[in-house]
A and B are shown apart, each in its own frame.
Chain A
Amino acid sequence: KVQLFLIFKNSGFLWFRISEDTQQQIIRETFHLVSKRDENVCNFLEGGLLIGGSDNKLIYRHYATLYFVFCVDSSESELGILDLIQVFVETLDKCFENVCELDLIFHVDKVHNILAEMVMGGMVLETNMNEIVTQIDAQNKLEKSEAGLAGAPARAVSAVKNMNLPEIPRNINIGDISIKVPNLPSFK
């Protein structure tokens, strides 16, 4: 069972979704545990009591400045979860076309939808990327057919994206560091 999913970057949190009543502290501690780790170490981490006992593990992947962290219990395969993270990121990349950090911020609801197509109530629902993308596509079509206003918001977003982002100091939760907004590595 997936107890916790969160995305954060080197300097702070970006996005998280917790399946149960969990405090901010868990997120904070997870951030500290994971972000301190070197490259080339393994992607599994036993958080102990903090994340609900020795049955739970943190499994994470690091993409450029972003960490994708799952906290899962022993009923899940570790390598399977690594695959799942990869599928998730690839799906994001497909849905947002070269996904970047900003997409995750400006489209919280969309990211949630994509995750919801993969993980539901903590259980893995679908791992086939094409299937997920098909579902998301269908939702977008619905959305378009319902949307009256179009175009203007899109321009607003692209205006924001085209601002001189590297200079913008960002303060999402912790830290106050200027960050490059890199594209995620391509998955071809």
Chain B
Amino acid sequence: MPAVSKGDGMRGLAVFISDIRNCKSKEAEIKRINKELANIRSKFKGDKALDGYSKKKYVCKLLFIFLLGHDIDFGHMEAVNLLSSNKYTEKQIGYLFISVLVNSNSELIRLINNAIKNDLASRNPTFMCLALHCIANVGSREMGEAFAADIPRILVAGDSMDSVKQSAALCLLRLYKASPDLVPMGEWTARVVHLLNDQHMGVVTAAVSLITCLCKKNPDDFKTCISLAVSRLSRIVSSASTDLQDYTYYFVPAPWLSVKLLRLLQCYPPPEDAAVKGRLVECLETVLNKAQEPPKSKKVQHSNAKNAILFETISLIIHYDSEPNLLVRACNQLGQFLQHRETNLRYLALESMCTLASSEFSHEAVKTHIDTVINALKTERDVSVRQRAADLLYAMCDRSNAKQIVSEMLRYLETADYAIREEIVLKVAILAEKYAVDYSWYVDTILNLIRIAGDYVSEEVWYRVLQIVTNRDDVQGYAAKTVFEALQAPACHENMVKVGGYILGEFGNLIAGDPRSSPPVQFSLLHSKFHLCSVATRALLLSTYIKFINLFPETKATIQGVLRAGSQLRNADVELQQRAVEYLTLSSVASTDVLATVLEEMPPFPERESSILAKLKRKKGPGAGSALDDGRRDASSNDINGGVEPTPSTVSTPSPSADLLGLRAAPPPAAPPAPASAGNLLVDVFDGPAAQPSLGATPEEAFLSELEPPAPESPMALLADPAPAADPGPEDIGPPIPEADELLNKFVCKNNGVLFENQLLQIGVKSEFRQNLGRMYLFYGNKTSVQFQNFSPTVVHPGDLQTQLAVQTKRVAAQVDGGAQVQQVLNIECLRDFLTPPLLSVRFRYGGAPQSLTLKLPVTINKFFQPTEMAAQDFFQRWKQLSLPQQEAQKIFKANHPMDAEVTKAKLLGFGSALLDNVDPNPENFVGAGIIQTKALQVGCLLRLEPNAQAQMYRLTLRTSKEPVSRHLCELLAQQF
């Protein structure tokens, strides 16, 4: 017999519905509805009081009309009247109407609340349930205020019927979700927990939902639920399929409740009580075991229910993340599902595995499924599933499989659904950066991204590749070559033109030697794309052109011609016009030097969190952030390319224009032409979120400092900056500060002292030299009370210096606290004679502003003097041997200091040579001798200084076996007196 008595409905309603369904057109339907609305209105307004049945019928018609998609703006009062009817059917329709068409009219709300109050107090379970349903469905704050205090009482009252308890639990949950402050915790909470033991499974299910929500805010109040939940779960899991009768669903006992209990347990850490934990682990194992048993039914409902429990079990195992055995079993189980014929299971398995990949116990196990997942990405018909596969590949990626995963994702990108292309692009970009071992691979990957899915490559992505290329000089040449080749494609994406324009403008000189990519070829290649590009890109290209004028003077005439063309100078776009005018004038007015300064290569970008990662997080919403983060606890995958790069091996370049403009301490003024004025084009490059030291970088630094060897001979080469190898060319180095020479001179004859000082920073030096080796300690003192960030001092070898002098530096902490001092040790080896000192470049951020300065490191050739004592006869014999004109250097100069014989003596000793008495017939004169020790050769030096007190002049003569050394020493020493 049918449960619903179809015949007992309302005749008028049935007729009306039939009428509607018989309407042949939309217009006819609307006409019929309007007719009915008019009829109902007149009935409601009529003088004759309507009986309950009519009211019910008309209210029901209104409801139906509303469900067809029409607005209903009357009838609320009649519905409220129905609430106070004693007839169930009338009351029920009234509540239904109120629940569906909530109205915030306060007068109505008061009446509704009154009706609800009566029903709650009626002790008629059916009426109570109707009232509770209404509260839950409306869930407004007003209702919360009116009933939040009553409902807990109903929930735990001993005489409440099961169905009422069930409804009360969910009603309370709904109110708590809407306005937590309205639901007071109290004595009833303990009794709610005990509902987990209730006989009635429906009550337990509702109670679990309620507790799962409440315990998130008050975990301690509900802690006792753990053991109750475990024992309930255990009883269900171990029960035979028939034990629970009605709650057995397709041979699975109480699947819904099991899932809810497992969810509840995920609100807490593993149970502390060993017995409880043991029982729970047993449950989890039982579920995993059952998954391997043959199904009790072929119906999909059976496997659904069973697997719902299984997936929730796996979630709990992942949540605990403490049982390696269970984790691996979970992973194997999911691995089976990856190849299941049910699409739903493949989808869910991919989803769960994604979280499993972040556990250190199972990360490796997840990785073994890489081929299956790649296959899913290629062959799944369903975009939802492919999306999950892409997520999982991203999650399982580490250094060992990055190349494979990135190349598969790139391949997938060619055919990927439009909806997920951008996300794939972001993921590829992040993985390529994070796991790049060699940066040429990174550059290739990003350029491929642009080639394959240029439209989906967002600004963040191509900004990032520019940042990295700018900051890593080892990849600049390669990048220039690769973009040049990429630009030769007949149709290349505008993003490629942007990247190409920027990179060639900065580093085009690195490939200009090849006639195939000579400056004019580079220019005409870029310019051939110009007219196809948007305004923003054209603006960028104009900046590239002016940079070309600086890099390649031979292109100047051509480019000026382009700038001068009417289409540029009178361009309708004000930005383009301004650039054309300014660049043209700049190129004609400024001298080569000024041009070189203004158009200096861009300085390295400050390191900070990848903007791409930030974007992906935004895209995925806060919930997914943790999965995307490097929240991986796996120590082995500790990535060295983390969000913030360690101090770049690149060398700082304080922008030369800074000095020029007297703004030394200001941030590099971003080579005025390019990005700064490009609207928002490159804004993000400069002012994104400030650098946050990532978790990835910190341990590495600690690692380095702990292992810092006591002696330079130990494995220092391993840990020290690979300075000589990664040394940039001199063109990367900003000129030293103007006082640098003066500061250097102070250290020609002494080894210790203060090298530099301003309001922010003091740099002290202590050094000692023996033979051709030296060790120098630099002390950086923060004179402010504010922490310096990204503090990075580096030593640079301009010109050929790196073949002449090896300087190994160790990294220092990237933060220098206010008032603190950090020390940096330099180990120096003189390989052969050299003339120019290395440069010391110090960069840091102070109060957010980047600071940089370049000094000359006080290492001069005379530091490697070994004094040599010899008799007068020997001296003169050697003096005569060094009689070639180029072996001698002589200087006559005015004394700058008082002519004190003792001071002079001290200076000469400090200079490094031995002082030989009784050699020169004139006792006023000084004679010295020494050998300069280098690894490759020794240079013998003889010197003679003749003061003339009357004239306040000196004459200095140097003779060495190497001509440039003579001159250099002579110059160095002459400045000391």
Measuring CB to CB, which residues of chain A are less than 8 angstroms from any residue of chain B?
1, 13, 15-17, 19, 24, 37-38, 40-46, 53-55, 74-75, 77-80, 82-84, 86-87, 94-97, 103, 105-110, 112-113, 116, 120-131, 133, 135-140, 142-144, 146-157, 160, 168-173
Contacts and interface: CB of A to CB of B under 8 A. Distances in A.
Contacts of A135: 163
Contacts of B209: 123-124
Contacts of A147: 8, 89
Contact of B344 (A43, A108, A154): A43
Interface of B: 2-11, 14-15, 17-18, 21-26, 29, 53, 60, 63-64, 67-69, 87-90, 92-93, 96, 100, 126, 132-133, 135-137, 139, 163, 166-167, 170-171, 173-174, 177, 201-202, 205-206, 209, 212, 246-247, 249, 255-256, 259, 263, 301, 304-305, 307-308, 311-312, 343-344, 346-348, 381-382, 384-385, 387, 620-621, 623-624
Contacts of A122: 174
7 contacts: A53-B621, A86-B304, A131-B202, A137-B3, A140-B8, A148-B53, A172-B68
B347 A42 contact: yes
A46 B387 contact: yes
Nearest to A58: B384
Q: What 3 pairs across the A-B complex have the smallest Cβ distances?
A: A154-B7, A121-B136, A79-B308
B170 A120 contact: yes
A159 to B, nearest CB: 9
Contact of A157 (B7, B170, B246, B347): B7
A131 B200 CA distance: 11
B880 to A, nearest CB: 88
A40 B343 contact: yes
A44 B621 contact: no
Contact of B256 (A74, A83, A157): A83
A85 B89 CA distance: 26
A156 B308 contact: no
A111 to B, nearest CB: 9
A142 B259 CA distance: 35
A107 B2 CA distance: 14
Which of B4, B60, B89, B173 lies at the interface centre, i.e. has the most chain A CB atoms within 10 A of its CB?
Answer: B4
A83 B2 CA distance: 23
A65 to B, nearest CB: 16
Contacts of B205: 124-127
Given A44-B384, A80-B259, A138-B126, 6 more contacts: A79-B308, A109-B93, A126-B202, A127-B256, A128-B246, A146-B88
B5 A143 contact: yes
Given A107-B9, A171-B29, A133 B3 contact: yes
Given A15-B67, A86-B301, A79 B6 contact: no
Given A86-B301, A143-B88, A171-B29, A105 B21 contact: yes
B11 A83 contact: no
B139 to A, nearest CB: 6
A141 to B, nearest CB: 9
A112 B126 contact: no
A45 B624 CA distance: 17
A157 B6 contact: yes
Contact of B25 (A42, A77, A137, A171): A171
A136 B69 contact: no
Which of B3, B9, B247, B623 lies at the interface centre, i.e. has the most chain A CB atoms within 10 A of its CB?
Answer: B3
B246 A131 contact: yes
A120 B172 CA distance: 11
Contacts of A152: 11
A107 B63 CA distance: 11
Contacts of B170: 120-121, 123, 125
A44 to B, nearest CB: 6
B6 A103 contact: yes
A133 B246 CA distance: 12
Nearest to B247: A128
Contact of B381 (A38, A95, A153): A38
A127 B88 CA distance: 24
Nearest to B139: A121
A38 B380 CA distance: 12
B621 to A, nearest CB: 5
A125 B166 contact: yes
Contacts of A127: 202, 205, 247, 249, 256
A103 B7 CA distance: 12
